[in-house]
Homo-oligomer: A and B are copies of this chain.
Amino acid sequence: MALTLSAVAALVQGELEGDGAASIEGLAGLAEAQRGQLSFFGSPKYLEQLKVTRASAVLAPVGAPVPQGVAAIRVAQPHLAFARVAQALQPKNEAPPGVSPRAEVHPTAMVHPTAHVGAFAVVEAGATVAEHAVISALAYVGRGAQVGAHSVLHPHAVVYAGCVVGKRCVLHSGAVVGKDGFGFAFDAAAPGHVRIPQTGIARLEDDVELGAQSCVDRATFGETVVGQGTKVDNLVQIAHNVKVGAHSILCAQAGVSGSATLGQGVVLAGQVGVAGHITVGDLSRIGAQAGVAQDVEPGSTLLGAPAIEHRQFFRAATVFNKLPELWKQVRSLVKRLEALEEGRGKHT
């Protein structure tokens, strides 16, 4: 596919400096781009790359020094504009409507005629697959589960019985929605852990993405919910009865314990852990590997385990590295002080 620069400028509502009839056929980073490609300048740290880029055109903010011979399309948010152009250029490999003769679809399941169900996919009794949804080969939709319009289950994605996937969601390979929450009561008499049936469901609102191997467990009662537009990376754990607000970002290998609540626009970096039954306020950002054990005020930026304000963490971590030296100094101070105290004793 190709787009003229005029078309690109119109798409991103940017101002074109250059030949609108010229066309671009691909996208690349500033350093890798070739003639015929479009790039973007989104951060001052790539200034040197901008100056020597071979791209034909660059999405850049007003004032950025796009070199001579390279068309500029001025936009306020180059990264966002780039995403929009990339989507427009992406070939549409849409799955054809229809159910593979090698899929297993229960007679009571409702699959919209525009939906795709691939080979060896399974749609159980009473399940619903809405218009233009894609149930890829080897994916599984449990009894009575609902998959919303335009949602895509990649191969080996699993939706357990009764769970709900909204519209335009993406479940990557190995994503599991609605596995039983991890709840047991210990019976000392038997002895053994007695399963607490998890009678609730898991529900993804619209535009949610779950990465490969990510898990959203079903609730003990009620619902585990991942809010509208929230994006979840690979290998993330979302336990039973968790509520994740809209437009949050959960990076790879993060884990959220049972009944925790994340607000809107929260960012959990990689390998973060959030304890159960706590609330992380809107727009909070939790740094990589942090462990959040208490409620977090909206807008906080935390790091460390237990997590604290991130600048405080950096200052403390700096001293941590000097702890052996600090220890020695205090040992030395004690001795010197003792000497002084004895000296004073002599004086009196």
Is the C-beta of A251 less than 8 angstroms from some C-beta in chain B? Answer: yes
Which chain B residues border A212 with CB–CB below 8 Å? 158, 176, 179, 215
Contact status B326-A327, CB under 8 Å: yes
Question: Is A52 an interface residue when CB atoms closer than 8 A count as contact?
Answer: no
User: Contact: B235 with A194, CB < 8 Å?
Assistant: no
User: In the bound complex, do residue B211 and residue A215 qualify as a contact, i.e. CB atoms below 8 Å apart?
Assistant: yes
Option from B29, B137, B209, B333 in Cβ contact (under 8 Å) with A334 = B333
Copy tally for this chain in the complex stands at 3
- The answer to whether B336 touches A326, judged by C-beta atoms less than 8 angstroms apart, is no
- In the complex where A83-B185, A234-B237 touch, is A315 in contact with B326 (Cβ < 8 A)? no
Range class of the A interface residue count = 35 or more
Give the interface of A toward B (CB within 8 A): 26-29, 32, 77, 79-80, 82-84, 86-87, 89-90, 93, 100, 102, 104, 118-120, 122, 137-138, 140, 142-143, 154-156, 158, 160-161, 172-174, 176, 179-180, 182, 184-187, 191-197, 199, 207, 209, 211-213, 215, 217, 220-222, 229, 231, 233-235, 237, 239, 247, 249, 251-253, 255, 257, 270-271, 273, 275, 288-289, 291, 293, 305-306, 308, 312, 315-324, 326-327, 329-330, 333-334, 336-337, 340-341, 343-344, 347-348
